[in-house]
Amino acid sequence: MSTSSSRPATAVRSLADDVRGRSDEQLRALVRRRPDLARPAPSDLTSLAARASTRSSVQRALDGLDRGHLQVLETLVVGPDPVDLAMTTQLLIASPRSLDGFVRELWDRALLWRSGDGLHVVRAVSEVLGPHPAGLGPAIADLPGSTPPWLASPEALDQVIASAPADARKILDMLTWGPPIGTLSPGGPMAAAGAWLLSHQLLIALSGEHVALPREVALRLRTGRLHRETALNAPKLTVTNYEQSSVDDAAGGQASELLGLVDELAADWGPRPPRVLRAGGLSVRDFKRLTSILDVDMDHAAFVVETAYAAGLLADDGSLEPVWAPTPGYDDWQQKPSANRWVRLGQAWLSSGRAPHLVGTVPAGGGSPINALSAEVVYPPMRQLRGDVLTELAELPAGQAADLASLEKRIRWRRPMRRGEIIAAVTAAVLREAEWLGITGRGALSTAGRLLFEATADPSVAEEAINTHLPSPVEHVLLQADLTAVAPGRLEGSLAQFMRLVADVESRGGATVYRFSPQSVRRALDAGWSSGQVLSALQDASRTPVPQPLEYLVGDVARRHGQTRVGTVAAYIRSDDTTVLDTMLADRGLAALQLRRVAPTVVVSQAHTLVVLEMLRENGFAPVAETTEGGVQIPRVSHHRTPARRTPTAPTITSVVDDELTEILISALRAGEESAAYERERAQSQPGPRLPSTEPAVALALLREASADSLGVWIGYADADGRTKRILFYPKRIEGGRAYGSVEGSNVEHTFSIHRITGAAVS
């Protein structure tokens, strides 16, 4: 494979020339550090350089810089062009040797380019950093007004600053570290101090009440430093040490708990799926009910439902009246071994771009709180920030847990372009969710969590690691005399389904406590179980005898269960106990049923049978439905499922370019560059301008460069009739996908649409 050393050296006049002169290894480094340049693949190195100089790509590149590299880049932007490294070391109070690595890394990322006279900052960097890099205002030469006398020497400026009144000095102190633009009201309490500063040109009036602190004054006030605190190196983490075995055991318990919560969720939403809101998502009422059923707080419930959704276990069924329900994939998932089920949830969480911690919060722009499962939970940076937090934990030795406050500072240093409050919320949420998932235990990465997080790890290895720490499922409960049952571990299969039917979960933890009540026992009888079957099943499942209070509860509910029977008239109610019917007729809560007695033991209603059953149960009665033959009608319990659909796969992560793709791309770029060079040579050998086909991004970059340097550009332009004209164009400004400027031989302003430019070359 050819390298740059085999090509003739040419004068470097731009980033494109710099990129074309890089070796294959340097190009690999560029593509790995800025993967957006590889998708879609550029046609040649000129196109690669043009894409690297666009504002959007530079914005992504700056988002990936830590605070140290960003501070160095800001210092280079503030300085002259080409950059003055000696001035940079002074502003950062750093040694030249310590900056070598930072400058090299910035060049590797094509944020700097090298020519014969030194290093230059890519023009789009200044645009992304904005008009006030590092909080500095414009230089005095760029501000209106005459040149101040103190500009002749730093000592003269120091004397003027030292003579400033106290109030004037307060104004300077407020503007020193930025923002450098302030407002001075002519009639305000600081008007006199402001007038003094304006008269001595320590402040420059911009327009109306707005004033600016000149860059030279700010740097002098900062005593020659560019940043209040130079942070070239990452802050240290505060850690706590644990035995790795205890970390893994804690993680295994949390993983087991999560599997149980997902099963509880599916068991509830199968027969009673909640509806999908018109705007999408889960209603607040249904979400609060879910938190009660799972017996967890709202943050935990949001995490469970969002993780199950990301794993493809829940979905909108897509019907005319859509509901949220388990997918067929849930039934397949439930049959897998526990370790495999956990890996599926872990992979879904790691690759998800959804942020469960946003559920219940109010968006920044105001409005209603965010609903679970809604589109507002999508937060694209979440995957990157989650990876940042786990990367910091993965770099710690086994068994070490990072303190939240120090970890938050570390992530803020790693992502300085992100808002601090977002970093704080996301860091706390990731640590919390990783613990609930079992990726961490006691705040430290578990062995299985570390293997799952590593991109090269085989999922089966993570399965083996978590499997040894998952609590073994139990097949028995311990019945208590206080109408509770204790499951000393995780229940699975038919026993878990039976306990969810006959009792309600009271508390979870290392052991699950179930509470028996008249309502829960009646739920089992409504499902077709007899009292004898319930007691027999409990006796078989328990290591202790069935307590007498529980026998009495089941028997008492069974005696009252079915005393009242409901049929269709629209509906009829019959009971051998006339006192029960008298009570119904006198109950005001049943007035809406319009009950009417037609016989001593029969009452009828115009309401539907199901409505009558529901209202009687809500008012303390225990009826059962009756068939036309007079037998008890066992209700069918349907478990709703969404239509069969493909299991969602993890979205493509554009932040990574693998080695194979890199090699293919570099080879294609070299081939494309050779073809482009041949076209340029061919164009030079023929009269008149011959323009090779140019991508819009390349044309845009050439026009921007020409506009900044006041140069002409030969463009091929397709008019409305499809004919292509060659024009020598002098661009003045680029706005909204159009280039404005003059053409050769005319002073009239012309406008050209970028998408119609078929080729471009600097004249």
Query: 279-335: per-residue pLDDT in tens?
Result: 889 999 999 999 998 889 999 999 999 999 999 999 998 888 899 999 999 989 988
The crossing angle, in degrees rounded to 10, of helices 518-526 and 531-541 is: 110
Q: How far apart are CA 746 and CA 263, in angstroms?
A: 76
Residues contacting 723, CB < 8 A, separation 6+: none
Identify the pLDDT of residue 178.
83
Any bridge partners for residue 566, and if so which?
573, 625
- At 741, the amino acid letter reads G
pTM metric for this prediction: 0.76
| Secondary structure of residue 447 in the 3-state scheme | helix
Q: Tell how strand 324-326 and strand 314-316 pair up.
A: antiparallel
- Per-residue pLDDT tens over the stretch 81-106: 889 999 999 999 888 888 999 999 99
Neighbours of 274 (CB within 10 A): 18
Identify the pLDDT of residue 723.
75
Q: How far apart are CA 540 and CA 568, in angstroms?
A: 39
Identify the pLDDT of residue 747.
80
Residues contacting 554, CB < 8 A, separation 6+: 521, 531, 534, 535
Percent of the chain with pLDDT over 90: 46
Closest by alpha carbon to 492, among 341, 702, 364? 341
- Please give the mean pLDDT across all residues of the chain: 86
Higher-confidence position of 396 and 643: 396
Q: How far apart are CA 486 and CA 109, in angstroms?
A: 60
Going by pLDDT thresholds of 50, 70 and 90, the confidence category of residue 206 is confident
Q: How far apart are CA 379 and CA 396, in angstroms?
A: 27
| Secondary structure of residue 2 in the 3-state scheme | coil
Lowest mean pLDDT among 132-141, 337-346, 414-423, 673-682: 673-682
Average pLDDT over residues 14-37: 89
SS (H, E, C) 180-210: CEEECCCCCCCHHHHHHHHHCCCCEEEECCE
Going by pLDDT thresholds of 50, 70 and 90, the confidence category of residue 655 is low
Q: How far apart are CA 71 and CA 745, in angstroms?
A: 46
- Per-residue pLDDT tens over the stretch 40-83: 788 788 888 888 988 889 999 999 999 999 999 999 999 888 89
Residue 685 confidence (pLDDT) above 50: no
Neighbours of 405 (CB within 10 A): 12
Q: Please say whether the beta carbons of 714 and 692 come within 8 A.
A: no
Identify the pLDDT of residue 460.
86
- Per-residue pLDDT tens over the stretch 740-761: 998 887 788 888 888 888 877 7
| Segments of 213-367 assigned E as strands | 239-241, 314-316, 324-326
Going by pLDDT thresholds of 50, 70 and 90, the confidence category of residue 650 is very low
Neighbours of 403 (CB within 10 A): 13
Average pLDDT over residues 128-151: 89
Identify the pLDDT of residue 6.
39
Lowest mean pLDDT among 257-266, 270-279, 284-293, 502-511: 502-511
- At 184, the amino acid letter reads L
Average pLDDT over residues 675-692: 53
Lowest mean pLDDT among 1-10, 336-345, 514-523: 1-10
Residue 662 confidence (pLDDT) above 50: yes
| Secondary structure of residue 711 in the 3-state scheme | coil
Q: How far apart are CA 345 and CA 341, in angstroms?
A: 7
Identify the pLDDT of residue 654.
45
Residue 724 confidence (pLDDT) above 50: yes
Q: How far apart are CA 185 and CA 353, in angstroms?
A: 47
Q: How far apart are CA 443 and CA 726, in angstroms?
A: 65
Going by pLDDT thresholds of 50, 70 and 90, the confidence category of residue 727 is confident
- Per-residue pLDDT tens over the stretch 358-413: 999 998 778 889 999 999 999 988 999 999 999 999 999 999 999 999 999 999 99
Q: How far apart are CA 228 and CA 215, in angstroms?
A: 15
User: Which of the listed ranges 13-17, 345-349, 486-490 does the model predict with the highest average pLDDT?
Assistant: 345-349
Closest by alpha carbon to 281, among 368, 385, 214, 220? 368
Q: Please say whether the beta carbons of 65 and 58 come within 8 A.
A: no
Residue 120 confidence (pLDDT) above 60: yes
Q: Is the peptide bond before 82 cis (omega within 30 degrees of 0)?
A: yes
Going by pLDDT thresholds of 50, 70 and 90, the confidence category of residue 110 is very high
- The CA–CA distances, whole Å, from 85 to 109, 110, 581 equal 18, 18, 96
Going by pLDDT thresholds of 50, 70 and 90, the confidence category of residue 8 is very low
Residue 4 confidence (pLDDT) above 50: no
Concatenated DSSP letters of 225-268 = -SSSS---SPPPPPEEE--HHHHHHHHHHHHHHHHHHHHHHHHH
Higher-confidence position of 487 and 145: 487
Q: Tell how strand 512-515 and strand 571-574 pair up.
A: unpaired
Going by pLDDT thresholds of 50, 70 and 90, the confidence category of residue 651 is very low
